[in-house]
Amino acid sequence: MTRRAGLAATIALMGLALGLFAGARDLHAIEVKKDLYSGGGGAAASGGGGPTRPNPLTPALQKKLIETVESESDSYVADESEKKASGQIYVDLENGKLKYFPQNTGGKVQVSAKLEGKEYKGPSEGTGKGKATGKRRALVFKYRLDGQIWTETAKPAWEDVVEKGAKAAKASD
């Protein structure tokens, strides 16, 4: 009986792993799944689907990047929380996902870091998340690596996140 349970667990894990690999095709992005304010360590994984690009960031540089985005996003998270409390449309950055796209251009490492979250219409009673609008938005930070320090190269900017299915539907129109 334990042999069957072990086999079932192995099959379940293989199915989960295949599902994760099939779903990790975000333009060769590196996605960091981490609660921004938990203080726990984040895990980075390179995107699949096609030839993989080497990640020019060491684990220490990745950690510094995450810490930099965390500190620089604090005011934006607070702004979105105020919008939520007042019943306005807001982006849930507290439960957002951080993705970063490293580039090595002319010997300088540059990164676009995107903090993505779902958009909601704030709750009228002041409790709960409110009603999802069906949109996703990203706050985009741009950095350049100077030695061991991440230097901001542009002010953070908001952008709409277009889902893969929506891209395909727009392309066929």
Per-residue pLDDT tens for 2-20?
Answer: 444 444 444 544 444 434 3
Q: Flag residues of the chain having pLDDT under 70.
A: 1-55, 126, 165-173
Q: Label residues 98-134 b or e (16+ Cβ within 10 Å = b).
A: bbbbbeeeeeebbbbbbbbbbbbebeeeeeeebeeee
Structure confidence at residue 117 (pLDDT): 96
In sequence order, which residues have a C-beta less than 8 Å from that of residue 60 and are 6 or more positions away? 148
pLDDT value of position 105:
78
pLDDT, position 128: 82
CB atoms within 10 A of CB 141: 25
- Phi and psi for 11 in degrees, rounded to 5? -65, -40
What pLDDT sits at residue 61?
A: 92
Give the model's pLDDT for residue 52. 55
Quick one: pLDDT at residue 22? Answer: 39
